[in-house]
Amino acid sequence: MKHKSVTFAIFIGLLAIIVLVGSSSVGTAQTISADLITQSSRESARHEKDADYWFDKGALCATYGNDSAAIKYFQKAIVLDPRRSDAYFAQGVSYGQLENFFEATALINKAIEMEPHNGLYYYGRARVYLLADDREKAIEDFKKAAELDDEDAQIYINTIAKTQ
């Protein structure tokens, strides 16, 4: 997105120069404009096959609360690189935010299967269980995440212990 706006700004700047300089530069400006369009097309084609690009785009959408779009972008990352446990996890969290708990836990389970020692994944699944009102499973996962040194899970467990 940022690259397109920069390219667009450059394009507008070139058009302004053409108007100021006159029609003698139009041929050159047309060539420059065509080059910019070609470069933009190449960048878009490169992104189509870049799992990191789609993952980052999904993460940005999720951060701003657009979990439906995030799910689509995470899926593109998974298709391009099915070994990305973080994409399964993030997609699962987005499904959880949309209250599709079955799909959320299935995807997070896949991430855990791929990386069983990642405390963040257990913490995320615990949060989904909380959203689904399954406190017992949530506490189990918070404990597992805390054992795996997930700091947020440790804080949560300590907070729960203080209130009981």
CA 1 to chain centre: 14
Crossing angle, helix 135-147 and helix 119-131, to 10 degrees? 160
Distance (Å, rounded) from C-alpha 126 to C-alpha 139?
A: 7
Q: Against a cut of 0.75, is the pTM above it?
A: no
Q: What are the residue ranges spanned by the domains of the chain?
A: 2-48, 51-163
Can you identify the CATH homologous superfamily of domain 51-163? Tetratricopeptide repeat domain (1.25.40.10)
Distance (Å, rounded) from C-alpha 112 to C-alpha 110?
A: 5
38-73 pLDDT, tens per residue?
A: 654 555 556 788 999 999 999 999 999 999 999 999
DSSP code, position 23: G
116-133 pLDDT, tens per residue?
A: 999 999 999 999 999 999
